[in-house]
Structure 1
């Protein structure tokens, strides 16, 4: 199993989980639910007004179960007209309304309200009669309740599986198709842009935007294949946008920062940058994180929000970079001669640019040494910069030795008295006193 297929599986699972976890209200409002009594299907109802299909079905089941608490009082269902709407019909038993048959129900069942009311009335009468007989037998009520719970659970599970599994397979196939399309488009764009676009950052931006745009389109089509209305899904997600905003704050921040980095381009692929305490080569700029490879070979993923808000040092934004080498010479050295020797050695080193020319500066006058700084310009790539700096140091040491200009040794210090005559006289007196004692 290759990495691309693993990523596709992870994205598919995440998409299906998002559909199942975040859209339960949309499912309830877009499905027809079966009304069951003792686990057996009676009829199916849909959405009416502000009442979703699941809540409506449970309400009808509760009313029929209450009638079964006194089986002897159950009468034949009657069909009555509602006061609010003359086209609707109410099915009532012993004056208790069980269900209202609406024009929407009739349209869903491709019939008229009167015909549908007659069918539901007969179905309710048959279901109640069968359930009453089961409860009137010895110990039948307990057995009927247990059997009803088990059959209802299995019936609803099977019904849900029959509805969900084909739609899930359709959504999975849809995502697989769009994954293949997105992968092919990304490969095609890489193949084309390598020949017409030299800027890798622009190529990366276009590829990622096209890739994720196809994925978003595939997600919408998968939602439709799953049986949801994309507009209703958008509405449902909009109702929870505040909660989702807090939950996905970091993800959205990284996403927007990634788009901004790719558009504003503070650095490009292949640049050598410093972000916080991390320094390395930019290998990838994704919409979530920027991938850096440090100079010791490690891969670091820095979140785009951190990259976008941090102070960035781009070492390779310019083609050249100035380097410097500090050295110490003694006060007894011929300073102009030493500067000329160092300048010539630096300028003659491989990798040091002739323009701008190398320069030598006296940085400080120390207590024991003169501090000199040799400045030069070289290529900004770290490999070239480090190698050239090392060669410059070697060239300076070799040139100073060739010119017989010594570098100070920090472990050896020569102290020369200011008044030599007085020191010599004092030493003679000390030696003579020691001789007299002997």
Structure 2
């Protein structure tokens, strides 16, 4: 049974791993063995030299065979059998294969090719930079000038807004919009100096706006919500607010998010889109806030007198807005106590609110104790209709049925 190699009638002759032509077998050697021998010679030649002379053709045996040589080294023999295989003369086939070898050997290796391409690219880049140096310098000057003008305009706009608006949030919005507008103008001028067609750029952005919109939907939503919040002003810096599950003081308002400091000192960054879509309770939007205290007195207390001394205590407590109405209401009658609710107004800032409410509670407790007005406790008083029974002692009576 013939081997697999014997069934291979043609094999590839290769230069640097690339096949260039095929050869057939001879009487005493298979095509694959013959190609392997030729490929070893070519590989040895390529590894020892980077420059090659043209392939030389030497006809032998009266023109029935031809030798292909490079740098005085024989690479292969073109035989009459090869000529018969390709239906051409030995000389024509030798010239054809010599040309293929010349073309392949003249091409540089991969690393040399990469180095040459890199060198050409760098040279072109350097030349383009030199040619466009005036444009680059002009664009750089415009960018620096834009930066300086943008900072100046931002500061001027902030000072103007501070005098006219008087609200720091709006001041920030106006100054940042002016700052961004100057940069947009400067960028357009810089692109024009560099020779870029701004109209074409806008057209390209228009084609990709859908993709950009989907990828930057949340980011753009936060910025747009930030502009709306700064314009609508539901809160300002240093306002105390409740947003979703967070309560604290607004410390910073940016176009992307707000910074809220909770009462225990934590900093919370809330995206503007979430703020815009949530209910906002601005605790300090009004300068005053109503506080309330509920207390209970016994049924035999003089309620008018109790109300009178409580009102006097509340009025005399520092921090209570005495100009606003103070309400003292009997709200509930339960078996053990008469509940009274005290309503009064204090500063809406949390620290003041808690302190004044605490002072009012302490003052009411002290004045009730001073006037001997008792407040019910969880202890119970048992009153006997016949106290004389206790003098002789009480004894359980046995009962039987």
TM-score normalised per structure 1: 0.59
Residues 18-417 of structure 1 mapped to structure 2, 5 A cutoff: 137=102, 140-143=105-108, 147-160=112-125, 163=128, 174-410=142-378, 413-416=379-382
CA distance in 2, matches of 1:161, 1:282: 53
**1:249 positional shift:** 0.5
Q: Determine if contact 2:237/2:251 at 8 Å carries over to the other structure.
A: yes
**1:250 positional shift:** 0.8
Aligned residue for 1:356, secondary structure, equals coil
**1:195 positional shift:** 4.3
TM-score normalised per structure 2: 0.64
CA distance in 1, matches of 2:108, 2:391: 124
CA distance in 2, matches of 1:141, 1:205: 67
CA distance in 1, matches of 2:280, 2:149: 36
Unaligned runs of 5+ in 2: 1-53, 55-97
Structure 1 residues 365 and 178: CA distance shift in structure 2, 3 A: farther
CA distance in 2, matches of 1:348, 1:306: 44
Structure 1 residues 431 and 144: CA distance shift in structure 2, 3 A: closer
Structure 1 residues 205 and 144: CA distance shift in structure 2, 3 A: closer
CA distance in 1, matches of 2:158, 2:333: 58
CA distance in 2, matches of 1:343, 1:300: 41
Higher gyration radius (CA) = 2
Unaligned runs of 5+ in 1: 1-70, 72-132
CA distance in 1, matches of 2:228, 2:153: 23
Q: Determine if contact 1:171/1:223 at 8 Å carries over to the other structure.
A: yes
Greater share of helix = 1
Q: Which has the higher contact order (CA 8 A, sep 6+)?
A: 1
**1:376 positional shift:** 0.4
Structure 1 residues 219 and 377: CA distance shift in structure 2, 3 A: same
Aligned length: 300
Structure 1 residues 221 and 208: CA distance shift in structure 2, 3 A: same
